[in-house]
């Protein structure tokens, strides 16, 4: 069975954020991820991880103004300086948290920009970020995200991500394969994972529709987990779903 990490942005929302570490450990998780750590001092988060015996396996680079609807700035030609500053900040947090991988959100394509300029900006920013993360011994990820949930998101298919890896050519750049986003955009989950396994550095899951826990929708997770095991994937799978009721009530799939 794959190794599962609790996504503390999505799970245990019945509790204040800093109390979710203990709840995840008590539920049996050995690792956590979450979208962003920047609201809290890194040392405070590191203490919570240590106290509850948890590993931090992922967080994202700064995304721009999340509250205003921004979902990453890596493709924005006029914000490369802000992006580069964010890479440095993310590495500082990741060092303190012992987090070995960071996810880069491409962002929503700015209106009126030439598409090739957006892709070139994204590639240039990834080259910079991959180089800086490599110095720190960390891996950089890029995540295709479905355009139903986030209209206009630049990177939305696995093949796009694979082509971008070829274009950038950084050895520490990999794909974050989110099963929920992939199901919405392209399906063919098992075949796509098999085709790109060597380039997948992290996975996440949620069922569809609703983005709830496995077993709530159309994805055959027992089959898919078996295929992931058969293929030899030994990384983490982040549980990035919204519980249909409460987090603990929705963990039956994990215990099964």
Contact 123, 168 (CB under 8 A): yes
Q: Which CATH superfamily is 3-255 part of?
A: Divalent-metal-dependent TIM barrel enzymes (3.20.20.150)
Residue 252: which H helix or E strand, with range?
Answer: helix 252-255
Whole-number average pLDDT of the chain:
97
39 is catalytic: no
Task: Report the pLDDT value the prediction gives residue 133, as an integer from 0 to 100.
Answer: 98
Active site residue 218: no
- Reported as a pLDDT band with limits 50, 70 and 90, residue 1 is confident
Q: Read off the pLDDT of residues 48-98 as tens digits, 9 standing for 90 and up.
A: 999 999 999 999 999 999 999 999 999 999 999 999 999 999 999 999 999
Both tokens of 118, joined, read 């957006």
CA distance 235 to 5: 10
Q: Find the catalytic residue in 116, 132, 143, 188.
A: 143
Q: Is the pTM of this model over 0.75?
A: yes
- pLDDT tens per residue, range 141-181: 999 999 999 999 999 999 999 999 999 999 999 999 999 99
Q: What is the DSSP letter of 223?
A: H
**Torsion (CA) 28, 32, 34, 38 in degrees, nearest 10:** 130
What tokens were used for 159?
A: 């093949």
């Amino acid at each position: 069975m794959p190794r599962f990490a609790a996504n503390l942005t999505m799970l245990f929302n019945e509790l204040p954020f800093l109390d979710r570490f203990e709840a995840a450990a008590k539920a049996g998780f050995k690792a956590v991820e979450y979208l962003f750590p920047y609201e809290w001092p890194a040392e405070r988060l590191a203490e919570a991880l240590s106290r509850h015996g948890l590993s931090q396996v992922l967080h994202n680079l700064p995304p721009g103004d999340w509250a205003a609807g921004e979902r990453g700035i890596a493709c924005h030609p006029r914000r490369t300086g802000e992006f580069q500053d964010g890479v440095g900040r993310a590495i500082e947090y990741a060092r303190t948290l012992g987090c070995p991988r960071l996810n880069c959100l491409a962002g929503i394509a700015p209106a009126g920009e030439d598409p090739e300029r957006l892709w070139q900006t994204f590639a240039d920013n990834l080259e910079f970020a991959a180089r800086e993360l490599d110095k720190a011994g960390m891996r950089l990820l890029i995540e295709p995200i479905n355009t139903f949930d986030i209209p206009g998101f630049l990177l939305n298919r696995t093949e796009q991500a694979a082509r971008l890896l070829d274009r950038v050519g950084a050895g520490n750049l990999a794909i974050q394969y989110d099963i929920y986003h992939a199901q919405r955009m392209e399906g063919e989950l098992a075949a796509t994972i098999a085709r790109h396994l060597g380039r997948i550095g992290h996975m996440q899951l949620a069922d569809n529709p609703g983005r709830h826990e496995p077993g709530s929708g159309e994805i055959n997770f027992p089959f898919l987990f078996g295929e992931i095991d058969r293929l030899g994937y030994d990384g983490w799978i982040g549980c990035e779903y919204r519980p249909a009721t409460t987090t603990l009530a929705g963990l039956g799939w994990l215990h099964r």
